[in-house]
Amino acid sequence: MTSRRGWISIASMIALSLSLVSAPSGSANAQSLFETLFGGGFKRARPSDFPPPPRKNRKAAPAQKKAAAAPKIAGPSYNTYRADRLVRVDFSPLTRGPTPIAFQAAAASGFDGALAGLEGYDLLAERDIAAALTGFYADHRAFVWVEQGAPNAHAAEAIRVLSEAASHGLDPADYLVAVPAPSESAADPNDRSADLIRFEMTLSAKVLRYAHDASMGRIDPNRISGYYDFPAKPFDPAVVLAALSNTADVRAFLETRHPSNPEYQALRVELEALQASGVQDEVTVDPRLVLKPGQTSPELPKLVHLIARDLDDDMGGKFGETLWRNAATQSYSDELVPVIKAVQQRAGLKADGIVGPRTVNAVAGTSNADKIEKVRIALEQLRWLPSDLGSPRVFVNQPAFTASYIDGVEKLNMRVVIGAPSTQTSFFYDEIEQVDYNPYWGVPQSIIVNEMLPRLRRDPGYLDRAGYEVTDSKGRRIPSSSINWGRYGGAVPFSVRQTPSEANALGELKILFPNEHAIYMHDTPVKNLFQRDTRAFSHGCIRLQDPRGMAAAVLDTSVDHIAAKLKRGHSTEKVTRKIPVYVAYFTAWPTISGKVEYFGDIYDRDTKLKLAIAATEAARAPGS
């Protein structure tokens, strides 16, 4: 058997071959296949949420007047993020008019005497922060950050906290404040006074920005897309500034603005470790590579190099020579298929020999630089959620394709199917209300129009035969076969629901948390999809691998109780406890033990968020 040193030698030779191979961004074949599977339309129909009509006894549809193609109902789109522009702080309420008698002591202490230094000073701030500055200082007329003609200890501590913003995934440049030079360097006392009052106002503005960003995030996710749905968090900068003026511990006050949950702390620890290790010299493979046997890609030699680099004795003995012979090839030959299958099997993936994002991740992992970006994005997204996530809670992480039930500890963790890229699952949180047994499925208008209507124009009786009920606006049942479906386009004036059955799209139960996106968790008759590594096939709802287990958990009962309820037919059961549910999207997320795991960006949302953050930073930049 070849020794480990021999395998290192093979890896070295492959690395040398790799350096001789040109590396464009990706093969046309791989990109084309990716777009076919994950976007730009599907060449093959994906598994539907409703079954096809029965084939037996199918009669030809009566002839109807040919109608124009019905318009489609589109889901939310992604927007170009528009960051709020900064405004100039209006200091005129402070600098004009006589000093009120009540504040003459402040004038004697230097504050009002220094206000002349604000004449002509252009301080830019967010609109609410600008208003809070003038309102607060008009009422208080005293320094917060200055004592005895110099920045005080509170100012020094605040500036230290702002300078550490990177440890929270924030950009310290957003909170920079120039500290006035020592008093002995100022030749003119008036200049010194002006420097201090401007420092006072600037530090207050930047501290308020930091407090806002720490508690709410830098961007408003709802502006990115309708796929985001978060209530506005309360933030009153005037109240925050008043609290800062009275606190004995500025650092403690500002640190409490950040989320307090263990997940946030685990991500901070991960970020610190990643930043300490630096960006390493890594071989990176396109994380979206899709490659089948017989296809070619310039990414393949990189993949071969990484497999060879990490060979153990067993893998080396079986595939060492194969990897050496194929070190520089861009063609995925049959000889390499067993290697890829072995890698997939070792990683717990489906050993199908098809190189996809999960296989690439198993071999190449996520680069250090990409991990840092993912953690920063995760920290930003956590600020959109409640600081205390609650317990018990249900947490769905879409990029991980998992759902967890957490009550102090993680009591359940199961695979899920989420929305396809063309019908994405939204990112929001809500509260679980009830479980429906043997449910009806109310078909959304988008599915009626986009998927059912073309069939119904050809075969009006399809719904009658397939187990659906059609009702009009008054709730009256109408045979599907009696409707001239060709009359309708983007708005169909009928409701359609599927009756309980083994073929029902929702399976045997659904778990509801009413929301405007009509998203819920449910069972499914299409069980085979849970065996896939990438599970994005639904119309937006969340299909559970173990629906009975989840129902029992949220109802605080047993699986036997759920089984007994199912035997009795259609019914509902209310959830009597407060159980928040997070339908979340994190490509970096810690396990319950604190180990951060990384996932693919199935909907490309990290990219959209990075663009929004960049737009915000640009709006905040000096001279913008």
pLDDT cut 90: percent of the chain above it: 67
Residue type, 533: D
* CA–CA gap between residue 128 and residue 42 (Å, rounded): 46
- Residue 343: HSE in the Cβ half-sphere, 13 Å Cα cutoff: 28
pLDDT number for residue 78: 95
- Residue 468: pLDDT band by 50, 70, 90 thresholds? very high
Best-predicted range by mean pLDDT among 488-492, 531-535, 586-590?
Answer: 586-590
Region 352-381 average pLDDT: 91
- Residue 1: pLDDT band by 50, 70, 90 thresholds? very low
Q: How many CB atoms lie within 10 A of CB 389?
A: 20
pLDDT number for residue 428: 98
Q: Which residue has the higher pLDDT, 219 or 31?
A: 219
Q: Which residue has the higher pLDDT, 50 or 387?
A: 387
Angle between helices 300-309 and 357-364 (to 10 degrees): 40
- Residue 341: pLDDT band by 50, 70, 90 thresholds? very high
- Residue 69: pLDDT band by 50, 70, 90 thresholds? low
For CATH 2.40.440.10, the residue range(s) in the chain are 390-439+500-586
Per-residue pLDDT reduced to its tens digit, 100-149: 444 444 444 589 889 999 999 999 999 999 999 999 999 989 999 999 88
Q: 613-617: long-range contacts (C-beta < 8 A, 24 or more apart)?
A: 613/218, 613/219, 613/380, 615/81, 615/82, 615/83, 615/219, 616/81, 616/83, 616/218, 616/219, 617/171, 617/173, 617/174, 617/218
**HEC string of 45-76?**
CCCCCCCCCCCCCCCCCCCCCCCCCCCCCCCC
Whether pLDDT at 192 is above 90: no
> 273's torsion region: left (phi>0), alpha (psi -120 to 50) or beta?
alpha
pLDDT number for residue 385: 98
Domain 390-439+500-586 has CATH 1.10.3210.10: no
Buried b / exposed e over 273-297, threshold 16 CB at 10 Å, is ebeeeeeeeeebbbbbbbbeeebbb
pLDDT number for residue 26: 40
Instruction: Please choose, from the candidates 309, 365, 330, the residue with its C-alpha nearest in 3D space to the C-alpha of residue 22.
Output: 330
- Residue 188: pLDDT band by 50, 70, 90 thresholds? low
Region 330-349 average pLDDT: 90
Region 318-347 average pLDDT: 90
pLDDT number for residue 546: 98
Q: Which residue has the tokens 């209530």?
A: 231
Region 380-402 average pLDDT: 97
Whether pLDDT at 212 is above 50: yes
Question: Cα torsion for 393, 399, 401, 406, to the nearest 10°?
Answer: -20
CA of 554: how far to CAs of 516, 525, 547, 570, 577, in Å? 21, 22, 11, 19, 8
Sign, CA torsion 367/372/373/377: positive
Region 74-79 average pLDDT: 90
Region 53-81 average pLDDT: 63
Q: How many CB atoms lie within 10 A of CB 574?
A: 9
pLDDT cut 70: percent of the chain above it: 85
pLDDT number for residue 70: 58
Tell me which of 59-63, 264-268, 368-372, 512-516 is least confident: 59-63
Q: Which residue has the higher pLDDT, 412 or 148?
A: 412
- Strand-pairing partners, residue 216, are none
Whether pLDDT at 355 is above 90: yes
Per-residue pLDDT reduced to its tens digit, 14-66: 444 444 443 433 433 333 333 333 333 333 334 444 444 444 444 444 544 45
Q: Are strands 521-522 and 542-544 parallel, antiparallel or unpaired?
A: parallel
pLDDT number for residue 28: 37
pLDDT number for residue 399: 96
Average pLDDT, the chain: 86
- Residue 171: pLDDT band by 50, 70, 90 thresholds? very high
Cα 382 to chain center, whole Å?
Answer: 9
CB 259 within 8 A of CB 227: no
Tell me which of 106-110, 423-427, 479-483, 606-610 is least confident: 106-110
In degrees and rounded to multiples of 5, residue 372 shows phi and psi of -60, -45
Sign, CA torsion 91/95/100/104: positive
- Strand-pairing partners, residue 419, are 538
Residue type, 461: G
Whether pLDDT at 99 is above 60: no
